[in-house]
Amino acid sequence: MTTGPAIGVDEISAPPNVIVVASAPHSQVLPHAAAVITHGGHGTVLKTLAAGVPLVVMPLGRDQRDNAARVVHHGAGLRVRRSAKPGTIAAATRRVLDEPQFAVAARRLAVDIADDLASDRAVEELELLAGAARHDPDRDRTTCEASAVR
């Protein structure tokens, strides 16, 4: 369990099988995780899914609600309200751990993320656009810029 800067590690009473730290590298923790409970920040969601681990997301604000919606849409986890009682959080976590479709969806997304990282599609698409603009004398700069934005 990571507390972040807002809560002191010594403020958490945890059972012996739980390690509480202020922070930890995702790369060291996620290979050992069966599920992640998070507020749904982009970094944690993406790294968790890249590791093929399902989530329980409790969004607090900013982009977190959208990230939670995407996790749920893809079947890689569940969303619970930030005001959820411990029993509700535990029930959602139990579902994510016990119902295999969440892990299957998270692993499927991990493959998609790995495939996306393997090639730099943005560069490829920009090069295609640049090539098309060079070969089409009727195409003006505004049209080319508008295409690049899409």
Summarised one tens digit per residue, pLDDT across range 114-132 is: 988 887 777 778 888 887 6
79 vs 15, more confident:
79
Q: Tell me: pLDDT of 48 over 90.
A: yes
Helix (H, G, I), strand (E, B) or coil at 72: helix
CATH number for 33-118 (one of 1.10.10.370, 1.10.3720.10, 3.40.50.2000, 3.40.50.300): it is 3.40.50.2000
Cβ-based neighbours of 146, under 8 Å, separated by 6 or more:
none
Helix (H, G, I), strand (E, B) or coil at 144: helix
> Domain map of the chain by residue range?
33-118, 120-150
How confident is residue 1, by pLDDT bands cut at 50, 70 and 90?
confident
141 vs 7, more confident:
7
Give the closest residue to 117 by CA, choosing from 65, 56, 55, 47: 47
> Which letter, b or e, does each residue of 123-135 get, where b requires 16 or more Cβ atoms within 10 Å of its Cβ?
eeeeeebeeebee
